[in-house]
Structure 1
Amino acid sequence: MHCLEPKDYHKIHNILKASFKTPTFAFSVVNRLIQGSVYVNDSMKPTSGFLRIRAGDYYVFGQGNDLVFNNSLYRYFVEKVYGKEKRFTVFTPSTDWEALFDETFKPYVKKMIRSKYRFVPPKVPSKYNLPDLYELKDFNSDFLRGSENFNESYIVDYWGSESHFLKNGLGVCVIHKENIVAECVSIFHSGTIAEIDIVTNPSYRGQGLGKIVGQEFINKCLEKNVMPAWDCDNNNEASKALASKLGFSNEERYALYVLK
């Protein structure tokens, strides 16, 4: 197993592009928008590999039936992850990789099913009616510090620093009486794809505020020629319904594994 140098990340770009199930954070690493580590079976012409980001998210890519590499991955898990890291969340693109985790990693992980969607851009920008006494704002440093959901810990885990998010990420929120009541940010941004993370304060649900911040976020993506992305647990019916309202369709499912 070889650790790729950042200057060689381009060697796996086509492998990542070959699967719709490749998560946004994988492209964020390869495009060097966020820091990560990339391990492959061959440093010159890789065909299998995995990458990791600070938050503890992993993605395995390429051929899932390279036994030598799979053994190296298992040793890496035993020596560097199990009992040492709090988070080990693995995104998989194929049944070959699923078979590896279903069998070899079975004592340590549990399987979950995720849903990933394609976005169908509208012919004209989406419009919405914001209720009176509410304000729609772009995320800034003050809103980040005032957010209960997308706070400093969240930003550092996924972006490395607040300044890096403010420079390269996207975020909008609805304000009521100086409080954030709905918010939508790019949990990941690859340069061309922005993955949505969205939360509405439970006391304000049922007013369509989640849809409003989602629409505004998408409008900003389209202005920048960035494709919005939506990914959620397969059993999260509320998230799936909101995805549909915002123009996401053609659902594809994949397996994700987390520590037991």
Structure 2
Amino acid sequence: MIYKANTEVKKKLVPMFENMDSTIILSYMQGYMGDAWVDNLDNPTVAQITVGIFVFYAGDSTANEAVELLYNLPEFALVIAESDEWKSRIETVHRGKNEKFPRYRFEKNPEHLSKTHLLNLMSSLPEGYEIKKVDSNIATAPSFQKLSEDFISQFKSIDDFIRRGTGHAIIHNRKVVAAATSFSVYDDGIEIEIATHPGYRRKGLATAAASSLILDCLDNGRYPSWDGANIESAELAKKLGYVFKETYDTYFINQNK
């Protein structure tokens, strides 16, 4: 049987996840968003942290409750674990339903991000396009919400996003055509979410939106963490100034498959 972790249990999970380099885990550990599940509330030996579609596993992969935790997923999940034992368990339990792919991790060092360079990147925005900080009017606009549901999905409401999160949108003909926002937040920063309308790609809009968001974060003492979902995202991160650290395995699991 598995149990939803409370505040006291959360403290016991810190050593279990301390070697996993993810600000999304920090978002849960520091009380901003997400949930955790464990095998034992008094002495947890295996645990799962879920923030949106991101699911992290740590602890004893051979525990009986590990299988139950591995089925405790959203409909579509991005599952991450560090050890080969966990990866083997994920592949066995979800055989035929998982797709393994690499994500791209970057060093978390604000000194790598040059404000002068970012300002130069922003200056390449084509004529007729405007960058605006996301406010309640932009956040409620259908063009913004259709672009990516993950822009604000981890927040309790739009008001909660405006209060705790941040975002920068590119407007063209009064519609949001690209944006970079905080997928999640933690004490010292955010995890970036970025999307561009398919009809507006290859115009440098993602670069400009990300540059604007990163500058805003740096000016306000927040670190804008970047984790690449694909090679295109990784190349954009390098263009912005991030320094590549490593790839790591991620499993996309479709519960309906």
TM-score (normalizing by structure 2): 0.82
Q: Which amino acid aligns with 1:74?
A: V
Please say if residues 135 and 175 of structure 1, whose CA atoms lie closer than 8 Å, have aligned partners that are also in contact.
yes
Q: Does 1:158 find its partner at 2:150?
A: no
Please say if residues 149 and 199 of structure 1, whose CA atoms lie closer than 8 Å, have aligned partners that are also in contact.
no
Sequence identity (%):
22
Provide the residue aligned with 1:177 in structure 2.
173
CA 7–224 in structure 1, closer or farther in 2 if over 3 Å, else same: farther
Provide the residue aligned with 1:255 in structure 2.
249
Q: Which amino acid aligns with 1:75?
A: E
Q: Does 1:25 find its partner at 2:17?
A: no
Provide the residue aligned with 1:93 in structure 2.
82
The one of 197, 200, 203 aligned to 2:199: 203
How far does the alpha carbon of each residue in 1:82-124 deviate from its partner, in whole angstroms, 9 at most, with x for none? Answer: xxx5223312223232121123332443322222222443354
* Greater mean deviation of Cα atoms: 4-13 or 37-46: 37-46
Task: Give secondary structure in 1 for the equivalent of 2:190.
Answer: strand
The one of 218, 238, 241 aligned to 1:244: 238
State the alpha-carbon separation in 1 of the partners of residues 152 and 216 from structure 2: 23
Q: Which amino acid aligns with 2:231?
A: E
Please say if residues 169 and 178 of structure 2, whose CA atoms lie closer than 8 Å, have aligned partners that are also in contact.
yes
Q: Name the count of aligned residue pairs.
A: 246
Q: Which amino acid aligns with 1:4?
A: A
CA 251–167 in structure 1, closer or farther in 2 if over 3 Å, else same: same
Please say if residues 144 and 177 of structure 2, whose CA atoms lie closer than 8 Å, have aligned partners that are also in contact.
no
Provide the residue aligned with 1:127 in structure 2.
119
Q: Which amino acid aligns with 2:55?
A: Y
TM-score (normalizing by structure 1): 0.81
Once the 2 structures are TM-superposed, how far is the Cα of residue 137 of structure 1 from its aligned partner? 0.6
The one of 210, 214, 238 aligned to 1:214: 210
Task: Give secondary structure in 2 for the equivalent of 1:225.
Answer: coil
Task: Give secondary structure in 1 for the equivalent of 2:85.
Answer: helix
Q: Which amino acid aligns with 1:133?
A: G
Query: Structure 2 regions of 5+ residues with no counterpart?
Result: none
Query: Structure 1 regions of 5+ residues with no counterpart?
Result: none
Provide the residue aligned with 2:54 in structure 1.
57
Once the 2 structures are TM-superposed, how far is the Cα of residue 7 of structure 1 from its aligned partner? 4.1
Please say if residues 38 and 51 of structure 1, whose CA atoms lie closer than 8 Å, have aligned partners that are also in contact.
yes
What is the RMSD computed on CA atoms of the aligned residues? 2.6
Provide the residue aligned with 1:9 in structure 2.
10
CA 214–56 in structure 1, closer or farther in 2 if over 3 Å, else same: closer
Task: Give secondary structure in 1 for the equivalent of 2:94.
Answer: coil
How far does the alpha carbon of each residue in 1:138-171 deviate from its partner, in whole angstroms, 9 at most, with x for none? Answer: 0011111225354595456322321111111110
Please say if residues 155 and 162 of structure 1, whose CA atoms lie closer than 8 Å, have aligned partners that are also in contact.
no
Q: Which amino acid aligns with 1:101?
A: I
